[in-house]
Amino acid sequence: MRLARCMVLPLLAGLPLAAAGHAAETPAQHCRQVATDDVSRPVPASLVPAAQRALGLEAPGSVVQRTTRFRCAGGTVLVCAVGANLNCGKADTARSLAPAGQYCSEHPDAESIPAYVTGHDTVYRWRCRGVDAVAGEPAEALDARGFVARLWKPVQ
Q: Is residue 9 part of a domain?
A: no
In this structure, the answer to whether residues 31 and 82 fall within a common structural domain is yes
Residue whose C-alpha is closest to residue 47's, from 78, 23, 16? 78
Q: In the predicted model, is pLDDT for residue 85 greater than 50? A: yes
pLDDT-derived band at 83 (thresholds 50, 70, 90) equals confident
Q: Is residue 58 part of a domain?
A: yes
> Do the beta carbons of residue 65 and residue 114 sit within 8 Å?
no
How many structural domains is the chain composed of? 2
Taking the C-alpha atoms of residue 44 and residue 27, their distance in angstroms, rounded to an integer, is 8
In this structure, the answer to whether residues 105 and 130 fall within a common structural domain is yes
Q: What are 35-69's pLDDT values in tens digits? A: 999 999 999 999 999 999 999 999 999 999 999 99
Percent of the chain exceeding pLDDT 90 equals: 78
In this structure, the answer to whether residues 28 and 76 fall within a common structural domain is yes
Q: For residue 24, give every residue at least 6 positions away whose Cβ sits within 8 Å of its Cβ, in sequence order, or none.
A: 16, 17, 18, 44
In this structure, the answer to whether residues 119 and 53 fall within a common structural domain is no
Q: Is residue 19 part of a domain?
A: no
Rounded mean pLDDT, 63-81: 97
In this structure, the answer to whether residues 49 and 82 fall within a common structural domain is yes
Which residues constitute the domain of residue 69? 24-86+144-154
Rounded mean pLDDT, 23-33: 87
Q: Is residue 125 part of a domain?
A: yes
In this structure, the answer to whether residues 53 and 122 fall within a common structural domain is no
The residue with greater pLDDT, 107 or 17, is 107
